[in-house]
Amino acid sequence: MTEAIGLRGRVLALVESSPFQRVIIVLIVLNAIVLGLETSPTLMASHGSTLHALDHAMLAVFVVELLLRLFAHRAAFFRDPWSVFDLVIVAIALVPASGPLAVLRALRVLRVLRLVSAVKSMRGVVGALLGALPGMGSIAALLALVLYVAAVMATKLFGAISPDYFGSLGGSLFTLFQIMTMEGWADIARDIMAQAPFAWIFFLVFILVSTFTVLNLFIAVVVNAMQEQVADELREEEGAHAAAAQAERQVLLDELRALRREVGELRERLGRAP
């Protein structure tokens, strides 16, 4: 039992060590390059077997790494969302290349996403984005409402003038979404203004509301979430430093008390000496 615990501790120290993590990151990047090279018919014709061998070798390393982490963390492995994410990504790569699930082999490139779990800064960004989802959902609902109202208005105002762009509600929604991205909106507006000179008012108000206001709210929510994420990480680091400093102070106090006891005992012995 003790030997198993000792082995588990050594494996845990290995998988959590910085050199081991750096090796995995390098292999993930190399695997991404190999998967990209496999899309070239010319390279596959001349070096296909080599690329497949490299891909299988790296996949084997990823499987061994996951097994080591499972052995080291046990049940805690499944309580960590990033570990479960890595497990799912590698499991997809193990799907057989033939049969009804063969289409999932195209998802092998998802192994590149393991960089997100392997690099701490990327994990922080993804965590901030996930934390911003509730606020982004409210803004998305507001944007959808603005788009719907503008599409109904545009269909009624410009449907007869430009049926290609605003002939139906669906077409108007698509056109307004294109305008919201600032892609070719000037050409669309000029075509409408040729017959409706004051149509620029509609397009100007729509762009100001949708692009310069609502879309910037998305950025504001994400930036705020990232700031909160950084603040939380700083508080955690400060808490860890404070705990370490407290532990050091406690060690010094214990040593000081022990020294005082030794001095007191020495004085007592000297006082009893003839």
Tell me the mean pLDDT in the region 254-271. Answer: 77
Domain with 227 in it: what CATH number?
1.10.287.70
Q: Are residues 96 and 213 part of one domain? A: no
Q: Are residues 131 and 109 part of one domain? A: no
Q: What is the pTM of this model?
A: 0.57
How many structural domains compose the chain? 2
Q: Which of 103, 118, 133 is the last residue of a domain?
A: 118
99/92: higher pLDDT: 92
CA 124/CA 230 separation, integer angstroms: 8
Token pair belonging to 22: 């750096």
Confidence label for 171 from pLDDT (cuts 50, 70 and 90): very high
Q: Which of 118, 144, 174 is the last residue of a domain?
A: 118
Q: Which of 96, 118, 140 is the last residue of a domain?
A: 118
Percent of the chain with pLDDT over 70: 90
239/70: higher pLDDT: 70
List the end-to-end C-alpha distance of the chain, in Å, as a whole number: 56
Question: Residue 202: what pLDDT?
Answer: 93
pLDDT one-digit tens code per residue, 244-253: 778 788 878 8
Domain with 65 in it: 2-118
Confidence label for 124 from pLDDT (cuts 50, 70 and 90): confident
Q: Are residues 130 and 55 part of one domain? A: no
Confidence label for 2 from pLDDT (cuts 50, 70 and 90): low
* For residue 67, pLDDT beyond 60: yes
Question: Residue 274: what pLDDT?
Answer: 56
Residue 233 lies in a domain: yes
pLDDT one-digit tens code per residue, 186-231: 889 998 998 988 899 999 999 998 888 887 888 888 788 777 777 7
Domain with 15 in it: what CATH number?
1.20.120.350
Lowest mean pLDDT among 13-27, 77-91, 115-129, 166-180: 115-129
